Structure 1
Amino acid sequence: MSEASQNRPDQPGNTGTGKGTLARDVALYSLARLALVLVLAVVILYVPRLFGVEIPLLVAALFAVLIALPLSLVVFAPLRRRVNESIASVDARRRADRADLQARLRGEDRR
């Protein structure tokens, strides 16, 4: 299938989103999760210093990752849903393209 026909929403399996949208959504979700880890690490490092307690960087980073894992599922739920929808769209298009290719290989005309 040509590049032009892959972006047409009237093709079977196309819902208007593509691999570029999926890549953007995954990158945005990943950056948001990393930012959350960084913010939590800074909070874990510096808030105890107000009370005279030193926490090692590695310990703060580990706790930040552990806290960010479940927290990001709740805080970034809309982003996660968008990523899941993009994955479903790309998968549906891939299935339709594969079925079309198999039909053409069998000699059927699916148009």
Structure 2
Amino acid sequence: MADDDRSTGGMVLDVLAYLLARLALVAALAAVIFYGASLFGVKVPLVVALLFAIVVALPLGMWVFAPLRRKATASIAAVDVRRRRDREQLQARLRGDDEGKAE
């Protein structure tokens, strides 16, 4: 059971790392757009800078953070396989099958 908790905790950390990386990319791009425009004497509202940053960060983040995305996806798949296996074992035990009692 401790191994199951580690795999779920690992999944949460992997997904959280990917999420934070994507949010940091949006924040960095928004800052570049907001302050970069002021260097050229253009006043860009913060909301507009954020919207442009989101639009640019969507495809850029998928490419830049591909290793993080693959790791998070693999973690999610591993937890999904474990949960599916546990559910099948529980259903087998409820039916009274011998395969559910093998553990």
TM-score, with length taken from structure 1: 0.84
Is residue 42 from structure 1 mapped to residue 31 from structure 2 by the alignment?
Answer: yes
Q: Could you tell me which of 58, 75, 79 is aligned with 1:86? A: 75
**Larger RCO of the pair (alpha carbons < 8 Å, separation 6+):** 1
The separation in 2 between residues aligned to 1:102 and 1:50, in whole angstroms, is 65
- For structure 1, the 5+ residue unaligned runs are 9-16
Bigger proportion of residues as helix: 2
Deviation, 1:109, is 2.5
Deviation, 1:71, is 0.6
Q: How does 1:1-111 map to 2 (within 5 A)?
A: 3-4=1-2, 7=3, 18-110=7-99, 111=102
Deviation, 1:51, is 1.4
- For structure 2, the 5+ residue unaligned runs are none
The RMSD of aligned alpha carbons is 1.3
The separation in 1 between residues aligned to 2:87 and 2:39, in whole angstroms, is 60
Structure 1 stretches of 4+ moved >3 Å: none
Output the amino acid matched with 2:97: E
Output the amino acid matched with 2:30: A
